[in-house]
Amino acid sequence: MNLNFDFLDEKLEIGQSTILVLEDVNVFAKVVQGFYQYTGENDFLKIFDNKQKNIKPNEMILISDILGFDINTRSNLKLIYQDLEEQLNDKPDVKSKIERLKIELANLISHELVEHELDLVGDKITFQELFLALGIHIEVMDDTIFEKASEILHIYKYLSRMKLLVFINCASYLNFNELEQIFEYVELNNKPVLFVEPRKIHGFIQHILDEDYFLSCENVV
């Protein structure tokens, strides 16, 4: 996966865990804004997969506020519900049983609709609507920023349609050991994660864009 800015001649290859340090505060602000406004078309910020195909906005998760990030967003739950339905397709007996119960429930409610003074009708309930009605969501058990970041990474692993996770200024809230565990977990997940930081992180290999727009890769000790 490649990241390209219109003010740079070279592209940045995004590996499983890539740290991008932007030392100029104006560039950092512009890049963060670029991620927020990313459309995948005619942006100064361009993200391509290995086949040079643009990454779509709905294929990327952007995290700038770890604690404030809601994992149970409508879009995330929709993806999870789709995975659940696909999981049921591999269990035809279970899916058929649920279908029968749905029909039985619909018949019971239809009878009550007929008894009502108003002319009420109901639609056939889909599996995703059933999951929503049951309140199915991701249980989040986190007390610290490190635990919340780890939970986000764990969920990202199972969102197969998501191709890139971007953390903004994540390192400021984590110590060396926590960052080391985060990067190890990212490598195990085998899905690309980009960490955009305003300053160097000691002890890790990182791409650094200095104030002269020179991009280098080094291990900061």
Predicted local confidence at residue 212, as pLDDT: 87
Any idea which residue has 């009605």 for tokens?
A: 133
Token pair 């070279």 is found at 10
Is-contact 203 176, C-beta < 8 A? Answer: yes
Tally of CB atoms within 10 A around 174: 18
Output the CA torsion sign for 53, 57, 59, 65: positive
From the number of C-beta atoms within 10 Å of its C-beta (0-12, 13-18, 19+), residue 52 rates as: exposed
- Confidence label for 49 from pLDDT (cuts 50, 70 and 90): confident
For the chain, the structural domain boundaries read: 2-71+162-219, 76-133
Residue 215 contacts residue 11 (beta carbons within 8 Å): no
Classify domain 2-71+162-219 by CATH architecture. Answer: 3-Layer(aba) Sandwich (3.40)
What would the DSSP string read from start to end of 23-40? -SHHHHHHHHHHHHT--S
Q: Can you tell me the distance from the alpha carbon of 206 to that of 31, in angstroms, rounded to the nearest whole number?
A: 17
Question: At residue 26, does pLDDT exceed 90?
Answer: yes
Most confident of 74-83, 109-118, 148-157, 196-205: 196-205
Predicted pLDDT at 56? 92
Contacts of 148 (CB under 8 A, 6+ apart): 66, 67, 69, 140, 142
The predicted pLDDT at position 116 comes to 82
- Segment 107-114 shows an average pLDDT of 86
Contacts of 196 (CB under 8 A, 6+ apart): 20, 22, 28, 31, 32, 35, 166, 167, 168, 169
pLDDT at position 155 over 90: no
Query: What is each CA distance from 39 to 42, 44, 178, in whole angstroms?
Result: 8, 10, 32
User: CA separation (Å) from 24 to 3, 9, 136, 211, 219?
Assistant: 18, 18, 44, 5, 19
Q: Which band of pLDDT confidence, cut at 50, 70 and 90, is reported for residue 70?
A: confident
Token pair listed for 102: 């749905």
Q: pTM of the full predicted structure?
A: 0.83
pLDDT in tens, 163-218: 999 999 999 999 999 999 999 999 998 899 999 999 999 999 999 999 888 999 99
